């Protein structure tokens, strides 16, 4: 029987109702007690690394999770991380970059309702996660939620209350779990070698979400204070005319430094392609801009945090950004 380590971080799944609202209050061991059926699936041990609402999740918390997995890696066959749903997709993406080449599964899960409620999705999600983590073919970082298995770099929370809270963006579900049975859509290529663990995540990456009528002065502030600006543009990606002059001024001003602008899109599905319209083609051509293409925003942000944390030059960072990790990018027209 497989031996799985359950890592508690808080979140809705472990929350209790208080006078001020739902607050994480159950330990990992408390949560586990609600699914006695797990005894037929695998042997589980628990550790509580934090107890927070996932709104408060930071890269320092990610490092804590990674350190827990690294310290226990040789002692377990897999890992299940219980997490709040609000930033779960960011954490799964971050773990995909901070723990690479893992032959052992690292499953991230949570729920929309606390496990202590009479009506909840928590028990199913957690039991499914152990079923998936205990399977011989499972590996690397993934999310198990609402009977679906999503690659760790491909998830997005697109429903605030419904049980089917997460979708897989621009990539098929890896598998579904029906009545305790895993139905795999995409066969896994067995991981070879040893896992790699990383801890340096840069805080010099930021996000600019464009909206009609934006004051161009915000560009100057962001270029001054950050190394990498991810621009979440409209449609397939481009720069509004009202921002163009300031953007060109800033790109010229910082061209001999390690500052970068990276283009992505506010549209969840089908990705960016700056060459389609004039508002994107010229900017991409003039500055050879990095473009996220089919990557999720969550994967784009955390990958850039990881890459900048590696202190790569812009040329090396550009090459590494377009290198596929845990199925994060398919379309790579550099």
Distance CA 81, CA 10 (A): 10
d(Cα 110, Cα 249) in Å, to the nearest integer? 45
DSSP secondary structure letters along 78-129: EEEEE--STTHHHHHHHHHHHEES-SSEEEEE--SS-TTSSS-SHHHHHHHH
Give the chain's length.
334
Distance separating alpha carbons of residues 215 and 209, to the nearest angstrom? 12
Which listed residue (12, 120, 153, 264) is catalytic?
A: 12
Start-end of H helices in the chain: 28-32, 59-72, 88-98, 122-133, 217-225, 241-253, 278-287, 297-309, 314-321
How, if at all, do strands 205-209 and 228-233 pair? Answer: parallel
Q: Name the token pair of 32.
A: 């586990």
CA nearest to 64, candidates 46, 30, 91: 91
Distance CA 331, CA 333 (A): 6
Q: How many CB atoms lie within 10 A of CB 218?
A: 14
Count of CA atoms in the C-beta half-sphere (13 A) of 233: 26
DSSP structure class, residue 331? -
Calpha distance 18→31 (Å, rounded): 18
Count Cα neighbours of 206 within 13 Å in the Cβ-side half-sphere.
15
12 is catalytic: yes
Cβ neighbours for 325, distance < 8 A, ≥ 6 positions apart: 96, 97, 100, 153, 303
Q: Catalytic residue numbers?
A: 12
């Amino acid at each position: 029987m497989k031996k799985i380590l359950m890592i508690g971080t808080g979140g809705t799944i472990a929350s209790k109702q208080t006078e001020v609202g739902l607050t994480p209050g159950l330990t990992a061991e408390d949560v586990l007690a609600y699914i006695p059926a797990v005894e037929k699936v695998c042997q589980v041990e628990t550790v509580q690394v934090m107890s927070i609402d996932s709104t408060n999740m930071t890269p320092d918390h990610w490092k804590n999770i990674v350190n827990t997995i690294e310290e226990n890696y040789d002692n377990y066959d897999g890992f299940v991380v219980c997490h709040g749903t609000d930033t779960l997709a960011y954490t799964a993406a971050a773990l995909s970059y901070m723990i690479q080449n893992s032959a052992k599964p690292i499953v991230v899960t949570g729920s929309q309702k606390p496990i202590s409620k009479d009506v909840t999705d928590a028990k199913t999600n957690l039991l499914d996660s152990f079923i998936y983590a205990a399977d011989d073919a499972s590996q690397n970082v993934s999310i198990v939620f609402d009977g679906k298995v999503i690659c760790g770099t491909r998830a997005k929370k697109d429903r605030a209350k419904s049980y089917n809270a997460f979708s897989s963006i621009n990539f098929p579900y890896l598998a579904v779990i029906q009545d305790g049975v895993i139905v795999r859509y995409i066969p896994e290529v067995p991981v070879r070698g040893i896992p790699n663990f990383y801890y340096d995540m840069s805080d010099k990456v930021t996000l600019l979400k464009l909206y009609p009528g934006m004051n161009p002065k915000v560009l100057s502030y962001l270029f001054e204070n950050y190394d990498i600006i991810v621009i979440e543009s409209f449609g397939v990606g481009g720069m509004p005319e009202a921002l163009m002059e300031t953007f060109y001024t800033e790109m010229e001003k910082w061209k001999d430094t390690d500052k970068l602008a990276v283009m992505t899109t506010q549209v969840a599905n089908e990705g960016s392609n700056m060459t389609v319209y004039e508002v994107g083609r010229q900017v991409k051509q003039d500055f050879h801009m990095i473009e996220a293409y089919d990557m999720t925003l969550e994967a784009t942000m955390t990958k850039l945090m990881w890459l900048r944390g590696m202190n790569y030059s812009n040329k090396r960072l550009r090459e590494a950004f377009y290198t596929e990790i845990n199925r994060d990018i398919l379309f790579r027209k550099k």
